[in-house]
Amino acid sequence: MQVLEQHDLLTLIYEKYGYDFTNYAKPSLYRRIDKFIADHQFESINNLQRLLMYHPEVFQIFLKEITVNVTELFRDPLYYKYLREIIVPRLASYPIINIWHAGCSTGEEVFSLCIILKEAGLLQRARIYATDINANNIEKAKQGIMPLRSMKEYTINYLQSGGKNDFSEYYTAKYDRAIIKDSVRSSIIFSQHNLVSDHPFNEFQLVMCRNVMIYFNRVLQERVLKLLYQSIAPLGYLGIGLKETLAFSEVQNKFETVCKSLKLYKRIV
């Protein structure tokens, strides 16, 4: 794609649909757009622009495929082991535990946290807000359905995270699908939220925003980090992706590092 065509496409998306991709990491974003054009056999980026202009249903497909969704139950088991053993017990002192999982994708990591809270006897006291820019992700997460073939790997992740129970008690197997039980999902409030343009909407004792900012440039990372900071109650916790950082951010000194290797922080200011 030529620079002018790229700019025109992103401008169209923002003006018509309100999604601002201009501060996403450009090489990765443009590779995904090129792949979308090739996969759907569009003749050119101009052809894609015309379709996006007059066919909102095409944009929904575009958004679904352009936003990156890499997730699994108990992804990075040591991260969840630390949550289980250190962070969650500290949350037990709150009468109501407010948690925000920003960029929840299709829900696997939210369900993981719910299982930990359930095993700690805290799930009924928790209100977990799970948000994503992609409405298709939210609808899929609400259903709690995933491939049954994945459960063997997820069971291993669960055990490595310190889980002691029979993992199969958290889902129902039906044909080739696994459905996360309502008893795990009951405290989750799923909704669409755009980290780029929307505002904070609560004070949370724990905010998880993992592997989202790696697709943003420095300007957008800073904007999102400020939003996350504003959303965390004093002494609340922030978890980001293992390849992400608070370094060089204006909010860096407002957090204390809880676990450097797992990118867990506590708000101190």
pLDDT reported for residue 31: 83
- 9 phi and psi, to 5 degrees? -65, -45
Read off the pLDDT of residues 45-81 as tens digits, 9 standing for 90 and up.
888 888 888 888 888 888 878 776 668 999 999 999 9
The whole-angstrom separation of Cα 120 and Cα 122 is 5
**Topology (CATH) of 77-267:** Rossmann fold (3.40.50)
Beta-carbon contacts of residue 11 (< 8 Å; ≥ 6 apart) = none
Query: Facing residues of 267 across strands?
Result: 255
- Give me 217's structure tokens: 């440039």
For the chain, which residues score pLDDT lower than 70?
A: 1-4, 68-70
- Write down the domain spans for the chain: 3-66, 77-267
pLDDT reported for residue 1: 46
pLDDT reported for residue 202: 85
The whole-angstrom separation of Cα 174 and Cα 178 is 6
Q: How many CA atoms lie within 13 A of 85 on its CB side?
A: 13
Is there a contact between 211 and 241 (Cβ–Cβ < 8 Å)? yes
pTM: 0.83
pLDDT reported for residue 17: 81
- Give me 209's structure tokens: 């925003």
Read off the pLDDT of residues 108-122 as tens digits, 9 standing for 90 and up.
999 999 999 999 999
pLDDT reported for residue 16: 83
